[in-house]
Structure 1
Amino acid sequence: MSSLSLSLMGAAREAADAQVPGLVDHEFASRLAAKDHTLWGEAAEDEASKRLGWVAPFEDSRALIPRITALREELAGEGVDRVVLAGMGGSSLAPEVICATEGVPLVVLDSTDPQQVAAALTDLERTVLVVSSKSGSTVETDSQRRIVQKAFADAGIDALSRTVVVTDPGSPLHEQSTADGVRAVFEADPTVGGRYSALTAFGLVPSGLAGADVESLLDDAEDALEILSENDSSNPGLQLGSAVGGTSPLRNKLVIADAGSPLVGLGAWIEQLLAESTGKEGTGVLPVIVADGEPELTRDADDVLVVEIIDAEAEDGSSVDGDAGDTVVSPHVVRTGGSLGAQFLLWEFATAVAGSLLSINPFDQPDVESAKAAARTLLDSPAPEAAEPIVDGAVEIRVSGDESLLASGQASVTDALQALLSRLPETGYLAVMAYLDRTSESQLEEIRPQLAAASGRPVTFGWGPRFLHSTGQFHKGGPHVGVFLQITAASEQDIEVPDRPFSLGQLISAQAAGDAQVLAGHGMPVVQLHLTDRKAGLEQILEAVNAL
C-alpha cells in the first residue's frame, strides 16, 4: 500500500467536518471513481463527460511502459541519453516533478524567452526531443519544436529520427507526425485534460525516456485509488478537497510549503492543477508557493490556508491531527505526504471535490484562451505604444489598468512598486510575472518573499509564459483582487521560428503585452517593468525591492 498521510487543523479540519458527511451521503468518491459526469452540475456535464479518464488511467498507462523502455534502450544504444521536453502546463510540469524527484536529468522547454531556448540547443548529438501537446496547436510548443528540429538539421542530424511525439489520437500533430515519420508517436488518452495528465502518456513518456521509474509511480497511484474511491469519512481525497474548497468564508489563498518532502517541485504542479481548475466565475483558490520561514508562513490571515508537503516516511503515516511545522504561525494548516504517484492522484481527486463545493467546472479554462487570443492579435498587428515610458536607468516603466497609478514626478522603479502595493485590496494578492530566463535569471525569485514582507499580503511568482497555463486562469477568472507586476526584457539574441512570420522575441513580447491588456481590461492595475539591459535591469529591480 502506498504511503499517504493527511492531517488537518483549524479551519481545514472544520471544513472537512462540515463537508465530508454530505459528500459521503452523496457517494461522491465512488461516483467519481465510476466517472460520473453529473457531479459538478448541469453546466459542466458536457465537458466533464469527456474529461474523466484521469480517474483510473492505469491499464492504458501500463501498456506504454514496454514501448518507453524499448525506445530508451534503443536511443541509449545510439548514444542518445539527453531528453529535451517541449511542452506547456501539465505536459511539462508533471515530468519535471517526476524527474527531479527521482534525480534524473530532464531539460524542460516551456519558455519562449530566446535566451532560455538558445541555452537548450547544446549536446545535440546525444539529444532526443519529446514534443508533448494534445493538439499540437499550442504556439509555444510548436515554436520550440520547429527551432530544435532546425538545430538538429543544422548540426547534420536527422531531426525526425530524434523527435518523439506525445499527443491525442487523430490530432493535427498526430497526423502530421505520422506522415512525417518521426521516431515514435505515443497516443495519449483524449479524455484526460492536460493538467490531470500526470499519470498518462504526457507524464510517463518523457519521464520514462529520461530514466525515471514510471512503473512504481503507477503502482503507488493505483494503491491510492483504492482509498480515494471509498465513501468513507476518512477518505483523504474528500477531506483535502473539503479543506481546499469548503472553508466558510472561503480561504482562497493556499500557501504551499515544502516541509522536508522528498517530492521535488510538487508545489508547482499543484499550483497549475488548482489555479487553472478552480479560478473561474469570480471564485477559486490561488496557490502561493513559498519556502520555509517566508512571510506568508509567519503570519495568520483570514483568507489563507497553509499546506505543508511532508516526508510521510518520517511520519507515522496516520491521518490524525498534529502540530504544524515550527515556522507556521497559522493554526489553519493541511499537512500531507506520501509517494509521488499517490500525491498526484490525491490532489486530482481533491481538486474535483473542491470544484463541486465551489459550484464550478474544474475541467475547463475559459480565461487562458483570452490571453492567447490577445497575444495572437498583437502578433498579427502589434499595437502602437500607448505612451512614452518613464525611464529609470535600465528599466522602462509603464502602467495599465489604472493610468493614475503613477503620479507626476514619480520616476523610479521604487516609486512604481510602492504605488502598486498601495492599490492592494485588504484580501488581495500581488502576482509577479517574469517573462525572462528562469534557468539563468532565477535570482529574480528572491523578490517574492521581500515583496510579501513589504506588502503584508500573499505574493505569487510566475515565469512567463508558463504561468499563463496555470495561475493565469485565476488572475482573470477568479476574484479580481490582484495587482500585477510584469517584468520583461530585451534579448541580445533573438531566434526566428522556422516557417512562421515571427521570432521568439516577438512572440514573448506579444504574450506579455496580451496578458497585460486582458488584466487591464478587467480593471486590475499592472506595472510593467521592461529591462533594456538584462543584467543591469535585474540588479536595479533587486535593489529597488530591497529598498522597500
Structure 2
Amino acid sequence: MSFEIHVSGRAEDVVDATLPRLVDDLVASGITAGDADLWGPAAAAEASRRLGWVDAVSVSRPLVPEIEALRADLVARGITRVVLAGMGGSSLAPEVIAATAGVPLVILDSTAPGQVLAAIEGGEIIDDEGTTAGGLAETVLVVSSKSGSTVETDSARRAFEAAWGDLGIDPAERIVVVTDPGSPLDESARAAGYRVFNADPNVGGRYSALTAFGLVPTGLAGVPITEILDEADATLLEVAIDDPRNPALVLAAAIAGTADGVRRDKLGLISDGTHIVGLPDWIEQLVAESTGKEGSGILPVVLQPLSPEADVERTPADMQLVRLVDDAVHFRLIEQHPGEILVSGSLGAQFVVWEYATAIAGRLLGINPFDQPDVESAKQATWELLDARPVIGEPAFRAGSVEVRTSDDALIESKTLEGVLEALRSRLGETGYVAIQAYVDRVELPQLAGLRELIAADSGRPTTFGWGPRFLHSTGQYHKGGPAEGVFLQIIGSDEVDLEIPGRPFTFGQLIAAQAAGDAAVLTAHGRPVVTLTLTDPQSDVLALFEAAQ
C-alpha cells in the first residue's frame, strides 16, 4: 500500500464508533463520483464546483511535458533560479514538494519589505558548500493566484516587473502565471505576453497540491513531478472504495469522530523520521481553513518531536496526536506512542489521503469544507485601512524597545512583557489555545518560531505559530470562524527599509502593517483577546521576548 495508518487507544475507539456510518453512507465513493450533496443542502452549490481535486491526477498529466519543455528552455537561457509568489495552498504545497525533493525553490508568501527585497535580489546560500542560487538576472518568477486578485501576489509581481525593467530585461521573458481561466490575472497576463498555465477552476486553493499550482513552480525548479502524480495515482483506488480499510475514511474518523459524545478538536502534527519535509504546515492550512467555521472545527498544531504537547504526560486532553513517520520506523513507534495516529506514505499519497479525509471531516462536523467566509473579512479590513491610512496611535507602554498595544487595557495592567504574557494565559479556558502571529521577515528572524515552544510549555495549552500574512489564507479562517477559544499574540517587525509597490499608493511596509491591524480588528470584533507587540529593534527584542516567555 502507498499509505498506511495505525490507530490505537482512544483513537481506535473513535474510529470503531464512527467508521461504520461512513462506509454505510457510501461517502468515499460519493466524493469520487462528485456527489455535492454529501455536505448538506446549504453546501451543495459550493461543493458542486469544488470537487475537481478528485480528478487532479488525470487532469494534470498533460501539463507535465509543457512544464518540462519550459524548464529546458529557461535553463538553456541561463535562467535557473525559481521564485514562487503565492499564498496559502498555492505556496505551501510547492514548498513541501520542493523541500522533500531537495530542489531549491524560493517561496515569497510575505509582504515584509526585507523578505521581498531578498527574493528580488537573490544570491541566497542554498547549501553547505556556500553555493548561491543566482540573482535577478537568472530568475524566473511564478505568479500563482487562483482568483487573480490576491494582493500579496499582485504586489510581488509589480515589484519584480519594476526590478527587471531597471536591468533592461523584458518581464514577459521571466514571468510565468498560474491562475484560473478567465480571472483578471489570466486576461492581463496574456495581454502582457506572459506564459500562462490555467488551473482547474473547480479546485479550491488548499486542495490544489496536485494541480498546476503545485506542479508548475516545482517542475520548473527541477522536481520530477511525474513521480508525485504516480504516487498519488497509486492511492486513488484505496480512497475511492467504501471499505473499513480505506485510509482516508479511517483518518477522517480518527480526527473528526467522537467517542462517548466527545471530540478531540485539537490536532497535534508531528514529523518524526519521515523523509517528507514540512508536510504538517501544508496539513495545517488544509484542515484549518476547511473546518474552522460556524463555531466548529479542528485546530491543527504543528509540533516538534520534543514539543511540550508531544509529551504523553503533558498532551492536553482535547488534543489528538498524529505522528508522520516512514515505513522503516512505523511499527517500532506503535508500542512507544499508544493512542496516537501513526501515518506513513509517499508524498503524493499523503496529499490524496489528507484531501479526502479533510473533506470527510467536514461532513462529520456538519460544515461546508469548501468555503472560507472569514478569510474575506480580514482582507476587507486591510483594504479599509489602506484606503483610510489612519495614524498609528502611541503604544499603551514600552518595554525597552518593544511597543505594546491592545484593545483590552486589562491585558496590559502590569506594564511588563512577562505580565502581558501571563494576562493572556489567564484568559485561556480549559479548551483554549494560544495563537502567535509573526508579521516579520522570517528570513531575518527565523529564531522567532522558537517562541512557540516556550509559550506552550508555560501555558500548558496547544499553541500555534504562524508567519504573517501567509497564515491569513489558512489558519486565519479558524481563528475567526472556529470555536471562540483562542488568545492572540501579534508580533510585528520594524523593517529598516521599505519598498514601493509600483502602481499602488502604498508600500510593502504599509501593506503588512495594514494586514496585521486589519486582522487584529476583526479578531477583536469577534471577542478574541489580542495583544500586539512591535519590535523596533528586532534582534534584541526577540531576546527580550524569549526572556519574558521563560
Deviates more, 1:331-340 or 1:159-168: 331-340
Given the superposition, is the C-alpha separation of residues 186 and 325 from structure 1 closer, same or farther in structure 2, using an over 3 Å criterion? farther
Deviation of 1:90 (Å):
0.5
Answering whether residue 315 of structure 2 is matched by residue 300 of structure 1, we say yes
Answering whether residue 348 of structure 2 is matched by residue 336 of structure 1, we say no
Cα deviation digits, residues 133-173 of structure 1 (max 9, x gap): 01210000000111111111112211111000000111110
1:356 aligned partner: 363
Deviation of 1:324 (Å):
4.1
Partners of 1:442 and 1:263 in 2: how far apart?
21
Partners of 1:498 and 1:464 in 2: how far apart?
22
Deviates more, 1:388-397 or 1:173-182: 388-397
Task: Assess if the C-alpha contact under 8 Å between 1:11 and 1:243 holds in 2.
Answer: no
Deviation of 1:239 (Å):
0.6
Partners of 1:512 and 1:246 in 2: how far apart?
35
2:465 aligned partner: 461
1:214 maps to amino acid: I
Task: Assess if the C-alpha contact under 8 Å between 1:3 and 1:313 holds in 2.
Answer: no
Match of 2:263 among 247, 250, 264: 250
Cα deviation digits, residues 14-46 of structure 1 (max 9, x gap): 121111111111111111111111100000000
Match of 1:259 among 265, 269, 272: 272
1:319 aligned partner: none
1:190 maps to amino acid: P
Cα deviation digits, residues 220-279 of structure 1 (max 9, x gap): 111101100011011110010111111341211100001101000000000000000000
1:423 maps to amino acid: R
Given the superposition, is the C-alpha separation of residues 450 and 325 from structure 1 closer, same or farther in structure 2, using an over 3 Å criterion? farther
Task: Assess if the C-alpha contact under 8 Å between 1:3 and 1:312 holds in 2.
Answer: no
2:170 aligned partner: 158
Cα deviation digits, residues 324-368 of structure 1 (max 9, x gap): 475x5xx43111010000000000000011000000000000011
2:323 maps to amino acid: E
The number of aligned residues is 533
Deviation of 1:301 (Å):
2.4
2:232 maps to amino acid: A
Deviates more, 1:531-540 or 1:340-349: 531-540
Deviation of 1:382 (Å):
2.8
1:312 aligned partner: 327
Answering whether residue 366 of structure 2 is matched by residue 366 of structure 1, we say no
Cα deviation digits, residues 493-522 of structure 1 (max 9, x gap): 001100011100000000000011111111
Partners of 2:335 and 2:422 in 1: how far apart?
32
2:285 maps to amino acid: Q
Deviation of 1:323 (Å):
5.0
Secondary structure at 1:191's aligned position in 2?
Answer: coil
Deviation of 1:312 (Å):
2.4
Deviation of 1:387 (Å):
5.7
Deviates more, 1:169-178 or 1:384-393: 384-393
Secondary structure at 1:405's aligned position in 2?
Answer: helix
1:442 aligned partner: 446
Give structure 1 stretches of 5+ with no counterpart. 317-321
1:333-482 matches, within 5 Å, as 333-385=340-392, 388-400=395-407, 402-407=408-413, 410-482=414-486
Match of 1:206 among 200, 217, 237: 217
Answering whether residue 192 of structure 2 is matched by residue 147 of structure 1, we say no
Task: Assess if the C-alpha contact under 8 Å between 2:273 and 2:329 holds in 1.
Answer: no
1:51 aligned partner: 50
Cα deviation digits, residues 429-462 of structure 1 (max 9, x gap): 0000000011221101111111011001010000
1:9 maps to amino acid: S
Task: Assess if the C-alpha contact under 8 Å between 2:454 and 2:546 holds in 1.
Answer: no
TM-score by length of 1: 0.95
2:232 aligned partner: 221
Secondary structure at 2:107's aligned position in 1?
Answer: strand
Partners of 2:547 and 2:441 in 1: how far apart?
19
Q: Structure 1 segments of 4 or more deviating over 3 A? A: 313-316, 322-326, 383-388
2:242 aligned partner: 231
Task: Assess if the C-alpha contact under 8 Å between 2:2 and 2:234 holds in 1.
Answer: no
Answering whether residue 114 of structure 2 is matched by residue 107 of structure 1, we say no
1:435 maps to amino acid: Y
Secondary structure at 2:178's aligned position in 1?
Answer: strand
1:41 aligned partner: 40
Deviation of 1:302 (Å):
2.0
Partners of 1:302 and 1:211 in 2: how far apart?
44
Secondary structure at 1:494's aligned position in 2?
Answer: coil
Identity over aligned pairs, percent: 55
Task: Assess if the C-alpha contact under 8 Å between 2:395 and 2:403 holds in 1.
Answer: no
Partners of 2:460 and 2:57 in 1: how far apart?
44
Partners of 2:438 and 2:251 in 1: how far apart?
31
Partners of 2:25 and 2:470 in 1: how far apart?
37
Partners of 2:329 and 2:528 in 1: how far apart?
44
TM-score by length of 2: 0.95
1:124 aligned partner: 136
Secondary structure at 2:250's aligned position in 1?
Answer: helix
Give structure 2 stretches of 5+ with no counterpart. 122-134
CA RMSD of aligned residues (A): 1.3
Deviation of 1:403 (Å):
2.9
2:108 maps to amino acid: L
1:19-30 matches, within 5 Å, as 19-30=18-29
2:146 aligned partner: 134
Secondary structure at 1:56's aligned position in 2?
Answer: helix
Partners of 2:286 and 2:372 in 1: how far apart?
11
